[in-house]
A and B are shown apart, each in its own frame.
Chain A
Amino acid sequence: MATQLLLGDEALAQGAIDAGLSAAYAYPGTPSTEITEHVLRSPEARAGEVVCRWAANEKTALEAALGASYAGKRAMASMKHVGLNVAADPFVNAAISGAHGGLLVNVADDPSMHSSQNEQDSRLYADLALVPCFEPSDQQEAYAVPARAFELSETYRVPVLVRLTTRLAHSRATVEVGGRRSQNPLSRPGEPERFILLPAIAKKSYERLIGRQPDFVRESEASPFNRLSQDGDRALGIVACGIAHNYLLEVTDGTPGHPVLKVGQYPLPARDVEWLVGHCGRILVLEEGYPYVEAKLRGLPPRSAPAIHGRLTGDVPRTGELSPDVVAAALGLGALARRTASSVPAPRPPALCPGCPHADTCKALAEVLAPRRDSARVFSDIGCYTLGALPPHGVINTCVEMGASITMAHGASEAGLRPAVALIGDSTFTHSGMTGLLDCVNAKADVTVIIVDNLTVAMTGGQPSAAENRLVSICRGLGVDESHTRVVEPHPRNHAENVAILDQEIQYPGTSVIIAQRECIQTAKRSARRGTQRGQQ
């Protein structure tokens, strides 16, 4: 067996390739991006043997993966946790239609919100869709999961969710890799009507999915990713999900001293849970994210014996990611002797890079809005330009989710709040902004949309933007008036001119779009070194 030094994300990707992956689609998002970047860098993808593409958004990614699965191939879609909200429709309904070739939905959750706006727990989505979910505890398991998950997906013809969390996604370890399953041949589903979710068919499919739930439990009970150790003092039993199992071993030097149920595959292995609950005085649940397992064990009304401890009881903090220190405290092990934190360091929030075009746009926008400060609001979006909320810019008023800039500006404007300005990036616009712009045009809404076009998906490391140099024609095609589709170059030398154009368009009482185009300073540096340049619109 060969070994490789791999991030959890990369181990998952390599495991999928080695398990016969044919197609991978994704929209970048921290901490999931490196799954797809690893596939893109692989010899298989470079040779065209594995199709790997960035999609316009998570929904299109998952649907493309479902299409590849329909064609009999092993396929996967990868995204961050909030991306699954965007892809929720195909995810939940693919559970009804079922998969043909193995279908994995890889989702990286971000507890503690290192780079996210919430810490939602994707295990609940697997519950909602009634499909199995894997949660590897380390990089080696992340490598091993796809082979079994694809198999499960093909055996029961369901999509399977693979959940990673930030610390595993972004931590490297030596992983033993090897063996390669060949790809599935092209084949069409034997009972093609199951993909036609007319109510009469969907009802039967739904019944079939319900009928498989006991099978999924049996699979979990037989899974190598779930393990019950009955050794030790039964006054306490511990459930450790995913990466929590590593923290448990860390703080107990490899010997927890109590029965432990390690969970890496859901639905929960009922037989093992039953043993633990039947034999232990109390139960401590260690899990990243929501108190998902804890709530199931606790029941309503809460069971009295054994008592279930975890995030709901305050033994583990209700919010935020786990750490070995958090787990040690939950076990009552007490903190180690340590130095007290210095009071001197100041926070160092992220900031726009020196020379960033967004900074020029923010500056121009701030100047235009200064005399309208009390009335104007800037509805913004997800991307580097969200940092326009922080000093010295302080120019945006909202950032909720992908695409909510244009649509919120639309609604606010129609409610009488004007000027209503939307500030959205090029990739976020093609991800979820275009439909909202169509709404604005159809409503003749008094909204000024600024698309800050840096020709890349900058926040996640410079992936290609889905509609490079096609934004003008997209906006025109959606019906934005030609004379109110403006292109500017955000640069200090154009400041006065850009302020004037912004001012004109904010005064215009209809839907206008200003495309502020200049390449991201980071990708520009890289392109300059490579001698390439991204084109001007």
Chain B
Amino acid sequence: MKRDIILAGVGGQGLLALAAVLGQAARGLGLHLKQAEVHGMAQRGGVVQSHVRFSDRPVHSDLVREGTADLVLALEPMEALRYLPYLKLDGALVSDTRPVRNIPDYPDVDRILAELRAITPHRLVDAAALAEQAGSPQASNLVVLGAGSPFLGLPVKALEDGIRAVFADKAESVIAANLRGFRLGAEWTQVAS
């Protein structure tokens, strides 16, 4: 069992929380784990990415090699496209469809989505809509995680335990909304497949 995952997004979207959830879930299962992330200046509305690797064998590198990621999971479509060289030829791509247009020259979003749809398998989810349904616009990141759940190689229970652990110091209502968002994403992805 081994998964190499690239998480991608924009500063402030809650990407590092997803990395932490995956880390907690993998650790809870006793898997070897490495999870590298970019902090600091890169976070201020700029690109944020994390490499998450877990396996039942020791994981050496903190970084994923190009052409070896089982999954690119992105909270923003242009950011999903940015990391294609990391994806295995048969790797999965999961992304939120809503663009974050905090730059003046944001490309044509239809072009972005068309390129993403050319990847097999892919899941392109309107996470904000499902997050609203879950009762918290802040749960969009968990919706995307749910949409990616079939490709994570981790049991749903481990992921939900991971969510509880990462948000343990938040209000019970926040944890519940995050879990609902995750489950709605997971249900959506079953229908979409």
Contact = CB atoms under 8 A, between A and B. Distances in A.
Nearest to B10: A348
A345 interface: yes
A174 B85 contact: no
B101 to A, nearest CB: 10
B133 interface: no
Interface string B67-107: 11000000000110110111101000000000000111111
Interface string A212-252: 00000000000000000000000000000001001101110
A194 interface: no
B40 A460 contact: yes
B63 A323 contact: yes
B60 A170 contact: no
B44 A350 contact: yes
Interface stretch (B28-36, B136-144, B145-153): B28-36
Contact of B61 (A170, A247, A460): A247
A339 B60 contact: no
A124 interface: no
B187 interface: no
B45 interface: yes
A324 interface: yes
B47 A174 contact: no
A240 B150 CA distance: 38
Contacts of A33: 39-40
B161 to A, nearest CB: 13
A325 B43 contact: no
A326 B46 CA distance: 25
Contacts of A3: 27
Contact of A325 (B59, B65, B78, B79): B65
Nearest to A172: B35
B46 A250 contact: no
A340 interface: yes
Interface residues of B, number: 53
Contact of B68 (A30, A174, A336): A336
Nearest to A323: B63
Nearest to A387: B44
B81 A5 contact: no
A170 B39 contact: yes
Contacts of A483: none
A341 to B, nearest CB: 5
Contact of A350 (B34, B45, B89): B45
B41 interface: yes
A147 to B, nearest CB: 23
A30 B34 contact: no
Given A30-B41, A174-B33, A351-B45, A167 B63 contact: yes
B72 to A, nearest CB: 10
A173 B78 contact: no
Contacts, number: 155
Contacts of A247: 60-61, 63
A342 B116 CA distance: 10
B157 to A, nearest CB: 19
Interface string A325-337: 1001000000111
Contact of B85 (A34, A341, A348): A341
A350 B105 contact: no
B183 to A, nearest CB: 24
B62 A115 contact: no
B88 to A, nearest CB: 8
A421 to B, nearest CB: 23
Interface residues of A, number: 50
A344 B67 CA distance: 19
A387 B11 CA distance: 15
Contacts of A349: 46, 103
Contacts of B40: 30-31, 33, 114-115, 459-460
A346 interface: yes
Contact of A351 (B38, B86, B102, B115): B102
A168 interface: yes
Contacts of A459: 40-41, 44
A171 B62 contact: yes
A171 B37 CA distance: 6
A173 B60 contact: no
Contact of B66 (A114, A172, A335, A353): A335
A43 interface: no
B84 A341 contact: yes
A336 B46 CA distance: 29
A5 B78 CA distance: 31
30 contacts: A3-B27, A33-B40, A114-B38, A114-B40, A114-B41, A115-B42, A170-B39, A171-B35, A171-B51, A173-B33, A174-B33, A246-B60, A250-B61, A324-B64, A324-B65, A325-B66, A338-B66, A338-B89, A339-B85, A342-B84, A342-B115, A344-B107, A344-B112, A346-B103, A348-B47, A350-B41, A350-B45, A351-B45, A351-B46, A353-B45
Given A338-B86, A348-B10, 7 more contacts: A31-B40, A171-B34, A336-B65, A339-B67, A340-B84, A345-B78, A348-B78
